[in-house]
Amino acid sequence: MRSFYLSPSESFKVSVDARHLLLAFGMTAQAISGSRDSQYLPTSFTLIDLHDLLCDVKYEFNSDNRRLYNAPMTLLAGTL
């Protein structure tokens, strides 16, 4: 699963049309002797042309507490 994010701006990151290819690898984990770690070895690959890929666009809200709890935006606040 791979997500691509679009951030509206005056200058988008992608500014020129180009062919988009995806190179995906199938991996297998192999235990490393005497360790709790594993090494990952490629076992296969697939090269995909993304030209005709239909995508969904998902807009997300991102902010921080300073902007979110800005005084002019507060409708009601109190203590219990």
59-78 as b/e: b if 16+ CB within 10 A: eeeeeeeeeeeeeeeeeeee
Q: Coil, strand or helix: which one is 58?
A: coil
In tens, the pLDDT along 12-61 reads: 766 777 888 889 999 999 999 999 999 999 999 999 998 888 877 777 77
Question: Domain residues of the chain, as ranges?
Answer: 21-52
Residue 65: predicted pLDDT: 82
CA 76 to chain centre: 35
Give the pair of three-digit tokens for residue 60. 């997300």
Q: Is the pTM of this model over 0.75?
A: no
